[in-house]
Amino acid sequence: MKNVILTLIIFIFSINVSSGQNPTVGQELIINNPNSTQYRYIDFPKLNTLVKRGKLANYKSVYGNEVIIDEVVTEDSGDVYVILKKKDGSKFFGYLTSVKANYSKALDSEELMGK
């Protein structure tokens, strides 16, 4: 009987912990350095596109930026995407007002970090 109760308590606790990763509009996040040369789960433009627009071919200008979740989109496949805007109201790379990111994968890969 103790094992059944203990298993039930652990199950309920794990459900509560996993539901804590639901994004909300207005939640603040910080953009971290990518693990590779490009971001995989945040839809920033490719480096050659930045060069064509006269920008430097790197993502250093977005490292450490504070962003706010503007919109939460749930796909049919179950993936949760968020639309991010800069907290200070400026644009990413001087021309993008918002970017789309896969919320759970970006948090797991530490491209985004909760504030």
pLDDT of 39-49, one tens digit each?
999 999 999 99
Q: Identify whether the C-beta of residue 46 lies closer than 8 Å to the C-beta of residue 58.
A: no
Average pLDDT over residues 9-29: 69
Mean pLDDT of 11-33: 74
Domain coordinates in residue numbering, the chain: 23-114
Report the C-alpha gap between 32 and 108 in whole angstroms: 12
* pTM, entire model: 0.75
